Structure 1
Amino acid sequence: MKFSERNKVIAAIMMGCFCVIIAVSLNHYPVVDHPPVTGEIQVPAAVKQIFVRSCFSCHSSQTELKWYDKLPVVSAIVSRDVTEARKRFNFSAWDSLSAADQKVTLWEIYNMINAGKMPLGLYTAIHPEAKVSASDLSVLRNYLNTLSVTSINDTSKEHEAIVQHSEWQQQQTAVNQVPVSVNGIKHRPEYRNWQVMSTTSRFDNGTMRVMYANPIAARAINDHQINPWPDGSVLTKVVWEKLEDKDGNVRPGKFVNIQYMVRDKEKYRDTEGWGFARFDTPELRPYGKLSSFKKCIACHQAVKETGFVFDLSTKK
């Protein structure tokens, strides 16, 4: 047998083995299950069309696999991504979210798309039809604006804020124990003396926020040393209802909560080195369970380039 003929035989055998591997893998790939649809998202048709085209393959129970999704290695990646995506939110189980969480999630989806974080670049490279256009973003934004919470010239809201502040002042005459979150993070009254980092508004729930940075965090911002942030950094966000007058001027209404991010890369290594805490109402009642704080870092993954911190007024 000539050398060239022997090479042809070897090549044919190798090709045959490859085809067998492919055939076997198509029937033995990691399974992407299809849980029942318990309560699909209800939005205008134009909005849903965008979600179906760009999000449903991973974020729903209606995943449609192509033949190449079943190939070796690829199938494992697809299975992992779909599983993680459904944990974040599932359009096919939308009714499992409260009305408030539905609005928050919709704004989160919009922000991730607007920031170019979703859909994933690798996914749109294979599925170009999933790309979200500028006109698609406009459709989403216009819809979300209809869900925005506003309190324009709402005298009842103003009265509630005044009453709440009066009651809060009376409570301050008593010495209260400093509240502690379930993960051990304490409320820090001294935040009032820290540097203001930024101010923001949330359209989805009609709130306004002021963010403070402790001296370590403020120095890191000024020195552009925020990725990673130094241990000991503490960021505080104080949240109020937003009141707006007929001229568009806004001011704080009722106090809602105060939130903390505490940097300790070893202690909080499961959440990218950040510990999260929240204290609700003027009584500063600790919020949540330990597992709930993993949802915080899942949202903050969108701003990995700023050390997982939203709303920085100074960026490198």
Structure 2
Amino acid sequence: MVQIIVRKFLEVFIFMLFITFVSFLFIRLAPGDPVLTILNVDELSVSQEQVEMWREEMGFNKPLLVQYGYWLLNFVQLDFGQSYVTGQPVIEMILTGLPATVELTIGSMIVMLAVSIPLGSLSALYRDSWIDQASRILSIIGAAIPSFWLGLIFIDLISVRFSWLPTMGRDGLPSLILPSLTLGLAISSVYVRLLRSSLLDSLGQEFIRSARARGLSDKRIFLVHAFRHSLPPVITVFGVSLGSLIGGVVVIEVLFAYPGIGKLVVDAIRQRDYPLIQGYILIMSAVVFIVNTCVDLSYRYLNPEMKLKETESNR
């Protein structure tokens, strides 16, 4: 376990160094000038001397590597800089919007689990029945519908026509239901099919037949043995698709005007607010890395064979 943790720390150092450099470079090479955006040149008469003065004050006249070096030095000191638009510290702005994004992510995951676990399990237990056919059809339809289009349908039907739930803002549980439902249903189709496939594979294993021969009940066999054995592939895909989930959160936050960091970064991209974009990329990269690390560590407990192999290799 100590070797795994040390290796992970080394990986995160290399990973974060790579991410900081690539994201810093690509953001600076993107079209648009943050100085012109800040000065609102479309509304104000600004001379070229003023533009150059601002560019020098913000350090844009220095080479990219020098700019990156200054930024990296501040980052090591946990200083993400200040927003070009609002002047607030980037870390404060991100921490302000983070709770809303976490709420939406958790709500979406609850919807996804509430849909995918029953449908995937029933589809595997009653293979080739009408339940299985209906589950597969629904999962195909869900995979084909973009999340933003599904959200527009919900807004039109549930909010506009019947006025059951609010369409925007963050005002308690009612405002969380529609965004969570939209994103949760959009991603659940993948996990329904994956859980079904993994359960069918587990139910055909030799240890399941041995458990039945020992007289264990079908409920115990399914919950304790088959379901647990089917989880590693599902968790693996979740770790890999976490980036897509974060991207989906960004789209849904913009669609429902939900005040999370997704909507915050979309506004930052439009306004060329480099420090805020950079801070968002770093924090989301760290979240993805941490989740994938937790996924790797969870294999030892979900898959006893892997834990046994580690024990034998350490002898």
Per the normalisation by structure 1, the TM-score is 0.21
Greater helix fraction, Structure 1 or Structure 2: 2
Where relative contact order (Cα < 8 A, 6+ residues apart) is larger, the structure is 2
Greater strand fraction, Structure 1 or Structure 2: 1
